[in-house]
Structures are given as structure tokens and as C-alpha cells.
Chain A
Amino acid sequence: MVDKIRRLPIFGEVFVKVGDAVAYDTTVARTEISGEPEIVKAAKIIGLEPDELPPYLLKQIGDKVEEGELIAYYTAFFGLMKKRVPSPITGIIEAISEVTGQVIIRGSPVPVEVDAYIPGKVVEVLPGEGAVIETNAAFIQGIFGIGEERHGKIHIAVDSSDEELTADHVKPEYKGDVLVGGSMVTMDALKKSVDLGVSCVVVGGVRHDDLTTFIGEEIGVAITGQEEVGITLIVTEGFGRMRMSQRTFDLLKSFEGYQASVNGATQIRAGVLRPEIIIPHEQGLERSTDGALASGMIPGTPVRIIRQPYFGAIGKVTFLPIELQQVESESHVRVLDVELDDGRVVTVPRANVEIIEE
């Protein structure tokens, strides 16, 4: 089962209750963020000292004003000299300062909504904030992504996890789909996917230069999800040409034709957030992997090496020495021995492997 917390940024109204069935686009909660303030230098416009302003004000704190409506009006020399201060926006007078002669007008509130994002059932309501949606689904976590929440039908565009996703693989009938490639996506394939309205591309790797060109700037710090590039991109392995993990590829393939909810948002800081692919389905429940992960690494644990010189290699832990050992860089670190799929046994720092969830 997959749970998603759907929460407003500030308090508001929740529209669902426990037990409700929701679709991708069901509105779960709504609120209003106070409107933007507009500062009008009324005294300066008229040419008065701030404390001389009050007699010429036509509106007081709390009054509503329309855009263009006068908030202050000044006449002198028997009406020969006139100065008007119109409101630049429609809103409410929030403050009038006798120190600065500024009038602050608060604009109309801005509505903010949160939808369900995944189809499922409401299992908990967070009063005033949102709800928790639960669904029976497969959950795949990427390593890096860009682009916002979307959904679409899964389509496997390549024959193997090692094949590049090129422009030739991208076809008009994939409009709205979640397109799965293998080891890498080319720049042309990304551009064509956007042109044809593909919803999301899931792929093993992407070249750093291509990503920079595609989003129009170099990624400095990995806080993503807000890019407006017309597509969501989820990278499952890393940068450069990287064969998609066979298990991830097979899992996606087994759900070809299913609808998936995807989100490219990545935040690699405290409160780490990785991109995700959620595939709701009606099949039997698979066992959770939490238990296996909690027990940590033991001989036999399947791992993937995530740094040179064996980056991407997969194998099983054979030995976990307790003492620190010296590696090629001359650092003394905690290591483990891994028997790779090709039979070689290599020693790598423990920090450089990740457990493969089974």
C-alpha cells in the first residue's frame, strides 16, 4: 500500500472524509492566501508631509476600493490645483501610516487547492490541512528528477534496460503517456517528447550537458520540481549513460498500460525527497521491504555500487570486516566485499553501496 499526505501550505478547508474514494483530480482541500499588498506613497504623490495627509483621504482602514478609484484627493488655490491618488488594484485598505504617508492596499485573496494526485481512499483527515490518501500500488523511487506532479499511461519505448531512448522511439500516439527508456535519453528525444505532449520520461541516466541545455540553466543545488519545461523527467540511476536497473525496468514493464502518478520533485538536503512513480493496481499485495532494510547489510544482501571504479555494478555482500581498511585513495574506511554478477569479488567502501530492495 502507498500512502500520500496531501497538505495545504497554510490552514484551510478540507473537502473529503475518511472512507471517501478519490480520483487523481479530486480536490482534497482548499484555502486562500492573503492577497499581495500594494504600497501607495499617497503623501508623496500629493506633495504633503505624512501627518498632513489624513484630511485628504477618501478611504479609511477596512474600506473596499476598486482599481482606479480615488483613495485621496487634494485641491488648493480654489480648485485650480488638483492632485488625485487612485488605487492601483482592487482590494481593501489595510493600513495608513502617518509616519511615512503610505497607504497599503491588500489585493484579493489567492485560492490554493490540493488535489488527490493518486486515485484511492481517504484513510485520515488532517483537520484544516488536508488528508492522507491510500492506494494499492507499486512504488518506484528515482534518484533525480525535474518537473511537477503528472499522470499518464506507462509505455515501454525500448527493448532493453540498456537501450538509449532516442527521438525515433517517441511517437505521436504517446501523448499524455509515461514513457520508459533504458540507459539514457537523448536531447532530441526529450525535445520531441515535449513537442508531442508526452507526460513523463523515465530513464536510467541523462547527460549533464543535455539536462543543462534542456532546462536552460545548470543545476546548482538539487531542489527541483518547479521547472516549467512541459514534461516530468525521472532518472533512476544517475548522470551519464547508465543502464536502468533490470529490476526497475522489469517492474515498469510488468505494468505497461497502467496509469501512473509521477513527480520529478527532488530535494537532496535534510528532509530528502526523491522523484517517484506510483502505479495503482488491483493485484495482490507484495511484501514490504522495510524489514529487510531495517536489518542492514549482512552477507548475501544484494547491493548496487554507486561510485567509481565499479559504478552501477550489482552483486551480493560476501564479507563485512569490522576494522577500517585502506582503499586506493589511501583513506581508511569501513569496507565490504561484494561478489559481482560476473563472479569477481571486489572491496568497496560501505558508503559506496546501496541495498537493492527485493
Chain B
Amino acid sequence: MATLRKPTEQMQFILATDVGSTTTKSRFFHRKEGEWRFLVAGEAPTTVEAPYEDVTMGVQNAVREVEELTGHRILALDGSGIVIPYDGRVGVDLYCTTSSAGGGLQMMVAGLVKSMTAESANRAALGAGAIVMDVIAKDDGRQAYQKIQRIRSLRPDMILLAGGTDGGASSHVMEIAELIRASEPKPRLGVGYDLPIVYAGNKALRPQIKDLMSKDFALDMVDNLRPVLEVENTEPARRAVHELFMEHVMSHAPGYTKLMKWTDVDIMPTPAGEGMAMQLIADTYKENVLGVGLGGATTNVYSVVDGRFVRSVSANLGMSYSVTNVMKEAGIENIMRWIPFNLEEEEVSSRLMNKMIRPTTIPQTLEDLIVEHSVAREALRLGLAHHRTIATRLKGIQLERTVADMFDQAVEETYVKMMIIDIIAGTGGLLSHAPRRIQSMFILIDAWQPEGVTRMFQDSVFMMPHLGVLSTVYKDAAWSIFDKDCLVRLGTCIAPAGTAEPGKHVMKVRLEMPDGETYEEDLSYGEIKLLPLPERHDAKAVITPARGFDLGKGSGHAVERTIMGGVAGVLLDARGRPIPLPEESSQSREVLLNWFEALDLYPEEKLKELV
């Protein structure tokens, strides 16, 4: 629970940290002339492992960097932590933190039917910021002994058990519960405490669940997450997961008991903070958002579509620790297809293996940078594909189908369609550190293939988790900093969906710039063009797609929009959807080079040397 030491309107300084698995990042915020702004950042290695085994050391080191850069003392001289509140000379008024150190929150999830309650439980756990280690269900295709072996081999931080609607299935739900109990799962962080378990299933079974589980587990029972088949109510389960995370998991991680006393707000798993930030964007703009945290070990994808928030985590898709898993899952040929020059497959795979075993190295050469950007496209593509398996319509409900639907036999499972996404937002080292902003914008476009008119944002210096946790207690400050210092406006992508023969007309774009100047562009199939429109400037656009191409209003129908400018600009993408890349590698390289040159994506001379 948050206990603020000062009313928010009187606050002047806020400190937020993220205790990551390798680095602890501190961000220092200040209210100046009534406006909250980001001041400086500090970083230090996380100290969760031996020989330190106390995360507060890393936090103090990261905060000390802030002190050195600003001359503003924050830490108590006696080492007792952070001085709160600010007394006019030292300290801050609010301190909050997220954490993913030591592997974050790792959960096992169980439900009755794989595509119904187990799927809802999975979404609830993911939404709470967890890495889901496995989903157990009655119909998951495994024999009881296989499930038992699996549960015994996992060492989760917590279990979420669902199953049955209220007053619905009971004995099958109890069978799953008995199977879990018989497997005697052990908590990851030591053997000296009871494993937390959240029960969010058929409420009629609560007495039996209590009899079965309360002796050996730290049991919490909350409202059913599928009270009826037509409703998914993940919020009570998500809240319980957060509370148990603080009470049982964090309190057993090295140094966290101390850190919990320093903070004014409950410690939140890093992805939950990131998710809050994505929701903040959606809430503020009242639009559909697709976001990503492309990290070294994991890729988190977030969607907020018509107000429904869903997070997915691909635990083994990432740009350093997991880079070879991207290669394994995507296939080396899919990475190679984004490289516009000749490199042997074995050379690329060796480089990626070497990156994986030395994950902190960075690309020095342009060639290496382009290889990493190619991997990023595939990690993002796979991350979104995974997200779409989670962001699905509720199953088990009778679908109402119209006559028009009769001709369309397959009912698409996911509702995350690129045409309805208004905003794409990215965070993570590779995107934030891209030497040219257009690179991160183009990587996101190639990977996710936005359709229609899509605004694109990215995190400036990794502070989305910090602002996410801050937004839970002080939304105005969080948004002010978010808007002015965190969200970099990359620009807008205008991309009609459709396909055609090369050279065929795709769209006509008329842009009226803020200074009154107008641009008129005609684009043919396969072409791509970048128009400059600075950040915080808008242009009025009339875009007329050719027949067979759609910008959201149907084939050939023009749209009028206000277009957001950005550090990269307005990207007119007439490559159609899906983006066509020739099968033959020399042709594919030529096509890529044309695109790269059209956008001035990389230094031209160096790129020519590589080709």
C-alpha cells in the first residue's frame, strides 16, 4: 500500500529506480515552475548475487551517481536509506521502484480447460508482470504423471489456480488442485517458507480448496476470473498476485525486506511498470496501442485495444542472453533475409553465439549493427505472433455470426489487427540506442507491418517502468515527465494494406505542413519515402489509396488525418502488406538496399563498402 509522506501538490523531488537483473537504474525527477521534468539518470550493477546479496547496495550506488551529477543529497549519511521527505536541503518527497532482479516473478498457472480458464489465468498472470513457466490444464495433452513431473521440476515463485465458472465444474477443478498438491511444488527462493498460491476459480469450491491447500501453501482466494464464460475478470487475481509478490516473494529475495521499507509504493515487477506506462499512453490519447519492451533476455508485448489491456512475455526472445534463441525460433534464413550484403550463414550464427556468451558487448562496425537490427526484426515479429496467441477473443462463448460471416469460415482468434492500432511504442536497449532514430522506427515497421496511419513513439532513456509505477500514485507527474522527457515522437507511418504488381500506383499523399507549404507525393508499389516533419508539429494530410489498397476506410477510400511529426519524420510506405521480399537473395538484397537508401537509414559510404 502506498503511504505518501507529503501531499502530491507539495512535492518537489521524486526518485524512482528499476532493479534490473544486471543493472539498477535510477531516475531523478523535479518539479520546476509547476512542471514535472526528468533531471538525471544514474546506473550501477545490481547486487542481488553473491558476494553482495543485498539489492540496496546497487540502489545506493545508482542513487549516488544521481547525487554526484546534481549535487543534491538523497541518501542518509548513516546508510539507513533514502531521506524522505525533502526537507528543503536534502532528500526526495517520494521514492518508488520496480524490480526484475533474480529472474523477476516466475509463475505456474493452472486452469481446467486449456483454451478457457487456463488461458484466462495465463492472461491474468502475464498482466501482473509474471513470466509464466507453464500452463497446466486438464486437456493440455499430458498424462497426469507428466504433469506431476513437470510441476516437481519447476520452482515457481507463485501459482495461480483457476477453473470452473461460479457454480459450474467442481470435481474436475478439484482434480487439478489435488494434482498440484500431490506434486509438492517448492518455491524458487529457498525451502523455508510456504509457496504462495492464488485461487481464482469456482467460488463454490472455496471450502474444499481451503481444506486441501491451506496447510502447505500460503493460500489466497479471490473472485473467479471467469465467473461466467462470457466474462473475464482478471483484476482481483492480478491484485492478489502483486500483494503476494510483495509479501512472500520479494521478502525472501536478498535485501528486499530493507528496500521495501525505503519505498513509499509497493515494489512492482518491471514488466508491470512497463505495462502501466503503455496503459498511460492509451488512456491519455484514448487510442489503441501496441507496445514492446525489447530486452536482452525477454520481449514483452503489450496491447491496449478498445480499453482491454493484455501483456505477453516471450521469456526467451531477446537481443543478448536470448539472441541465439531468436535464431533458433525464427530460423537463420529469416534473419539473413534482412541483411543487404553477402555474409555466410555460419559467420552470422557464430557472431550471434558469441554475442550470447558475451552479452554485454556492443556492435562497433556497421556490419555488426545491421546484423543485430536484422535479429531485432525477427524477435519483434515472433514476439507479436506470440502476443496474438494470448490477445484472443474469449473462447467457450457462442459466436454470433452474420450472413456475411458465413462465407468466411475461419473465425480469427486474435483481435490485434494492425489496421486498428493507432500507436506503436517501443522501449529497450536496442531501440533506444539505435544511432539514428529512423532505424528503430523502420525496424518496428518491418517487424510489425503497421497498416493505415500509425503514430510511432519510443522511450528516450529507459524510464517507462519507473513512470509506470509512479503513475499508480501520482498520475499527473508521471504523465508530465512521460510526455516531455520520456516519449520520443519518432513520427508517423502511412501504409495502405494490399498488394499489386511492381510499379503500380498505390497512393497519393497531400500534406499541408504547419508553415503552409504543401507536399504532394505519388507512390508506386514497393516504394518508400521519408518526409521531414519535426517533433511536436502536425501536418494535415489527405491520403488517397488506389483501388485494392486500404487505409482503414475500405479499398480506394481516401482518409483525412492530422499527422504527427517526429525526430524521424513521416514515412510513406507503399510496399503493401505483407511486405514483399524476393525469395532470391541477390534480388532481396537489392530491394533492401533501395529501401535503406531511400530512408538514409545507415551511413551511405560505409554501406556501399559492405555491398
Contact = CB atoms under 8 A, between A and B. Distances in A.
Nearest to B602: A330
Nearest to A217: B328
B356 A222 contact: yes
Interface in B353-378: 353-354, 356-369
B361 A268 contact: no
A349 B365 CA distance: 11
Contacts of B361: 306-307, 349, 351-352
B101 A270 contact: yes
B364 A270 contact: no
Given A37-B183, A209-B346, A240-B354, A349 B362 contact: yes
Nearest to B171: A100
Nearest to B182: A37
B563 to A, nearest CB: 27
Contacts of B179: 39
A308 B191 CA distance: 45
B360 A238 contact: no
A307 B364 contact: yes
Contacts of B183: 37
A99 B182 contact: no
A307 B148 contact: no
A51 B178 CA distance: 16
A269 B321 contact: yes
Contact of B368 (A39, A106, A308): A308
B171 A270 contact: no
Given A239-B350, A330-B603, A348 B22 contact: no
B346 A208 contact: yes
A208 B328 CA distance: 12
A94 interface: yes
B98 to A, nearest CB: 16
Contacts of A308: 351, 363-365, 367-368
Contacts of A10: 186, 191
Contact of B360 (A309, A329, A351): A351
A113 B510 CA distance: 75
A255 B148 CA distance: 47
A95 interface: yes
B414 interface: no
Interface in B11-36: 21-22
Interface centre among A34, A95, A207, A218, by most chain B C-beta atoms within 10 angstroms, is A218
B364 A220 contact: no
Interface in B485-516: none
B560 interface: no
B329 A220 contact: yes
B360 A36 contact: no
A249 interface: no
B175 to A, nearest CB: 5
Contacts of A95: 178, 181-182
Nearest to B606: A328
Interface centre among B103, B191, B362, B436, by most chain A C-beta atoms within 10 angstroms, is B362
Interface string A292-319: 0000000000000011110100000000
A113 B52 CA distance: 29
B170 interface: yes
B322 interface: yes
Contact of A307 (B103, B170, B356, B368): B368
Interface string A71-108: 00000000000000000000000110101111010100
B316 interface: yes
A329 B439 CA distance: 12
- Where chain B touches its partner, the secondary structure class is helix
A115 interface: no
B431 to A, nearest CB: 13
Contact of B359 (A100, A101, A104, A268): A268
B433 interface: yes
A94 B353 CA distance: 48
A268 B321 contact: yes
B367 A100 contact: no
A270 B182 contact: no
Contacts of A101: 171
Contacts of B357: 143-144, 222, 238-239, 266, 268
Given A99-B208, A104-B182, A220-B328, A333 B362 contact: yes
B363 A97 contact: no
B368 A37 contact: no
B49 A309 contact: no
B325 interface: yes
Interface in B310-331: 316, 321-322, 324-325, 327-329
Interface in A191-212: 207-209
Interface residues of A, number: 52
Given A95-B182, A238-B357, A307-B364, A269 B346 contact: no
A220 B316 CA distance: 8
B349 A307 contact: no
B103 A270 contact: yes
Interface centre among B297, B351, B606, by most chain A C-beta atoms within 10 angstroms, is B351
Interface centre among B328, B353, B363, B364, by most chain A C-beta atoms within 10 angstroms, is B364
A104 B351 CA distance: 51
A188 interface: no
A48 interface: no
A38 B359 CA distance: 43
A329 B601 CA distance: 12
B149 interface: yes
Contacts of B435: 329-332
B541 interface: no
Interface string B577-601: 0000000000000000000000000
Contacts of A97: 174, 178
Interface in A237-280: 238-240, 266, 268-271
B255 interface: no
A219 interface: yes
B102 A270 contact: yes
B295 to A, nearest CB: 12
B197 to A, nearest CB: 17
Contacts of B339: none
Contacts of B359: 268
B89 to A, nearest CB: 30
B76 interface: no
A331 B171 contact: no
Interface string A3-46: 00000001100000000000000000000001011110000000
A354 B101 CA distance: 24
B483 interface: no
A11 B49 CA distance: 22
B133 interface: no
A270 B363 CA distance: 22
A285 interface: no
Given A219-B324, A269-B103, A36 B145 contact: yes
Contacts of A219: 324, 328, 353, 356
Contacts of A140: none
B356 A268 contact: yes
B321 A222 contact: yes
A36 B347 CA distance: 46
A312 B386 CA distance: 37
Interface of A: 10-11, 34, 36-39, 50, 94-95, 97, 99-102, 104, 106, 143-144, 207-209, 218-222, 238-240, 266, 268-271, 306-309, 311, 327-333, 348-349, 351-352, 354
Given A39-B148, A106-B182, A329-B365, 13 more contacts: A10-B186, A37-B148, A95-B178, A144-B353, A208-B353, A209-B349, A222-B321, A238-B353, A238-B358, A240-B346, A269-B103, A330-B366, A354-B358
Q: Which 6 A-B pairs have the closest CB atoms?
A: A220-B325, A330-B435, A37-B182, A239-B353, A240-B350, A329-B369
23 contacts: A37-B148, A38-B145, A39-B144, A39-B182, A99-B170, A208-B353, A209-B346, A219-B353, A221-B316, A222-B356, A222-B357, A239-B357, A240-B350, A270-B49, A270-B102, A308-B363, A309-B364, A328-B364, A329-B369, A349-B364, A351-B362, A352-B364, A354-B358
